């Protein structure tokens, strides 16, 4: 009986870890802090659909305790601790084989002048462990040039991508404030996805889950949907919640407050995490062929309604992404309007399946016109 139970446990853990490894990653950025590392807070991570916890630790010993707890809960840690920078090789040797390790968090929003130091740390860590993620989060497109340390944003990216060869790249952009979307978010996604494609690599992007400096700002579940699904439509392989655990000052309305108490934002991120997981089979390890917008936006491609597969009879405020994944192809529509449901009409020129978030495929036959209602920030997926 004991052998049977042990085998069951091994199979369960393998299934959990494998299923998380083959889906879009959901990252708790500023996740459970070191002082709150316990079974309850890590269970909350799992229940919120988190697959990777990002947090800084005061010491490697504290980090190892958290790695053990992460392993028990079937999630991983994106790790940052002083020893990574003081004794990189020794630190990597100690943790490189830990099942709870996702990778090494090296820096957040570095300027060009910091690249040489980060290259050295990366070189030292990777000389021991070149299997895990090395992570540096980059500035957004609207960052001032004095912070970038470069002539402009493309110059900043040119210098970074020339110096670092990563599996995963990341940039932050918090595009929505009280229901209003910054239009240069889309051009930032265009540029960043272009650079990562040139490296044959992937990128992670952010969803703003916590308000900064404005306790009256409400972050709705529609806000989260638009951020998550737009990022996925551009090819993001990870969605990072900023923040999961709120700092003590100047942050409001997030998932978990600074004392570790769940807020209303927790339920919202739990729902969005489940929706991301439900559509992972479409977006995980996919190739985004092209992204279009139904209205002209600087730095993006205008949709000219010339697809051979379908015709858009009516509809506006849409992002339209063409995606290939294995032998399947997808056309994804995202409603960019956070003020209302988007009612659109499509004429099919071939057979499709409509893929719902519950993974049920509904036939959409050739030479038929259909009307669809896409919720605020939500998506419609056609598969062929």
Handedness of CA 341, 347, 350, 351 (dihedral sign): positive
In the block, residue with structure tokens 């402009």: 152
176 and 244 assigned to the same domain:
yes
Dihedral of the alpha carbons of 63, 65, 71, 74, in degrees to the nearest 10: -80
CATH number at residue 297: 2.60.40.1180
What does the pLDDT average to over 340-348?
A: 98
Tokens linked to 287: 């190739």
Residues 6 or more apart from 86 whose CB is under 8 A from it?
none
215 and 96 assigned to the same domain:
yes
291 and 279 assigned to the same domain:
no
Q: Residue 26, Cα to own-chain centre: how many angstroms?
A: 6
pLDDT surpasses 70 at 8: no
138 and 266 assigned to the same domain:
yes
25 and 94 assigned to the same domain:
yes
Domain that holds residue 340: 287-383
299 and 271 assigned to the same domain:
no
pLDDT surpasses 70 at 279: yes
Tokens linked to 152: 């402009």
Of 283, 317, 336, the domain-final residue: 283
pLDDT at 360: 83
47 and 88 assigned to the same domain:
yes
pLDDT at 14: 38
What's the CA gap between 80 and 58, in Å, rounded? 9
What does the pLDDT average to over 284-304?
A: 98
Task: Work out the pLDDT band at 358, boundaries 50, 70, 90.
Answer: confident
Under 8 Å between Cβ of 90 and 96: no
Q: 54-67: per-residue pLDDT in tens?
A: 999 999 999 999 99
The reply to whether 35 falls in a domain is: yes
pLDDT surpasses 90 at 356: no
Edge-to-edge strands, sheet with 318-325: 287-293, 318-325, 328-335, 379-383, 352-355, 361-364
The reply to whether 3 falls in a domain is: no
Of 263, 283, 303, the domain-final residue: 283
22 and 91 assigned to the same domain:
yes
What does the pLDDT average to over 99-108?
A: 98
Percent of residues, the chain, with pLDDT higher than 70: 95
Under 8 Å between Cβ of 192 and 157: yes
What does the pLDDT average to over 131-140?
A: 98
44 and 174 assigned to the same domain:
yes
Q: 16-67: per-residue pLDDT in tens?
A: 443 456 899 999 999 999 999 999 999 999 999 999 999 999 999 999 999 9
HEC string of the chain equals CHHHHHHHHHHHHHHHHHHHHCCCEEEEECCCCHHHCCHHHHHHHHHCCCCEEEEECCCHHHHHHHHHHHHHHCCEEEEECHHHHHCHHHHHHHHCCCCCEEEEEEEECCCHHHHHHHHHHHHHHHCCCCCCEEEEEECCCCCCHHHHCCCCHHHHHHHHHHHCCCCEEEECCCCEECCEECCHHHHHHHHHHHHHHHCCCEEEEEEECCEECCCCCCCCHHHHHHHHHHHHHCCCCEEEEECCECCCCCEECCCECCCCCECHHHHHHHHHHHHHHHCHHHHCCCEEEEEEECCCCCCCCECCCCCCCEEEEECCCEEEEEEEECCEEEEEEEECCCCCCEEEEEEECCCEEEECCCCCEEEECCCCEEEEEECCCCEEEEEC
The reply to whether 5 falls in a domain is: no
The reply to whether 307 falls in a domain is: yes
What does the pLDDT average to over 345-358?
A: 94
Report residue 20: phi and psi, to 5°: -75, -35
Of 258, 283, 308, the domain-final residue: 283
Cβ neighbours, 10 Å, residue 248: 8
Domain count, the chain: 2
204 and 146 assigned to the same domain:
yes
The reply to whether 107 falls in a domain is: yes
What's the CA gap between 134 and 156, in Å, rounded? 19
The reply to whether 11 falls in a domain is: no
pLDDT at 53: 98
Q: 168-204: per-residue pLDDT in tens?
A: 999 999 999 999 999 999 999 999 999 999 999 999 9
Residues 6 or more apart from 131 whose CB is under 8 A from it?
96
What's the CA gap between 125 and 134, in Å, rounded? 9
pLDDT at 2: 39
Percent of residues, the chain, with pLDDT higher than 90: 93
Q: 222-252: per-residue pLDDT in tens?
A: 999 999 999 999 999 999 999 999 999 999 9
292 and 251 assigned to the same domain:
no
* Max Cα–Cα distance, the chain, nearest Å: 67
**What does pTM read for this prediction?**
0.94
Average pLDDT over the chain reads: 94
Residues 6 or more apart from 187 whose CB is under 8 A from it?
141, 297, 298, 299, 300
What's the CA gap between 343 and 206, in Å, rounded? 27
pLDDT at 123: 98
The reply to whether 258 falls in a domain is: yes
For residue 113, is the peptide bond before it cis, meaning its omega torsion is within 30 degrees of 0?
Answer: no
251 and 292 assigned to the same domain:
no
pLDDT surpasses 80 at 115: yes
The reply to whether 177 falls in a domain is: yes
pLDDT at 248: 92
What does the pLDDT average to over 355-367?
A: 90
Under 8 Å between Cβ of 237 and 24: yes
């Amino acid at each position: 009986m004991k052998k049977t139970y042990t085998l069951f446990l091994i199979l369960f853990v393998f299934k959990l870890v494998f299923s998380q490894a083959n889906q879009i990653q959901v990252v708790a950025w500023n996740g459970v802090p070191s002082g709150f590392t316990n079974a309850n807070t890590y269970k909350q991570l799992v229940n919120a659909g988190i697959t990777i916890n990002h947090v800084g630790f005061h010491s490697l010993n504290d980090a190892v305790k958290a790695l053990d707890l992460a392993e028990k809960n079937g999630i991983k840690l994106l790790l940052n601790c002083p020893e990574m920078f003081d004794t990189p090789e020794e630190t990597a040797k100690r943790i490189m084989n830990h099942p709870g390790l996702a990778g090494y968090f090296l820096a957040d929003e570095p300027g060009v002048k910091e690249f040489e130091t980060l290259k050295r740390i990366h070189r030292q860590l990777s000389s021991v462990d070149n299997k895990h993620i090395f992570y540096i989060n980059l500035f957004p497109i609207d960052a001032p040039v004095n912070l970038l340390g470069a002539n402009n944003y493309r110059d900043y990216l040119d210098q970074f991508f020339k110096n670092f060869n990563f599996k995963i790249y990341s940039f932050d952009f918090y595009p929505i404030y009280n229901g209003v979307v910054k239009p240069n978010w889309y051009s930032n996604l265009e540029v960043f996805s272009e650079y990562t494609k040139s490296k044959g690599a992937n990128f992670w992007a952010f969803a703003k889950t916590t308000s900064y400096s404005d306790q009256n700002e409400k972050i709705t579940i529609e806000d989260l949907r638009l951020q998550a699904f737009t990022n996925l439509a551009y090819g993001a392989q990870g969605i990072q919640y900023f923040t999961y655990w709120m700092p003590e000052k100047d942050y409001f309305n997030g998932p978990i407050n600074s004392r570790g108490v769940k807020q209303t934002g927790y339920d919202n991120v739990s729902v969005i995490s489940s929706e991301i997981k439900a559509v992972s089979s479409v977006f995980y390890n996919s190739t985004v062929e092209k992204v279009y917008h139904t209205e002209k936006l600087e730095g993006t491609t205008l949709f000219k309604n010339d697809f051979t597969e379908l015709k858009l009879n009516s509809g506006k405020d849409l992002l339209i992404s063409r995606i290939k994944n294995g032998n399947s192809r997808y056309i994804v529509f995202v409603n960019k309007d956070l003020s209302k449901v988007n009612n659109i009409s499509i004429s099919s020129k071939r057979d499709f399946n409509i893929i719902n978030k519950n993974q049920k495929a509904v036939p959409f036959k050739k030479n038929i016109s259909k009307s669809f209602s896409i919720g605020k920030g939500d998506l419609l997926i056609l598969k062929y």
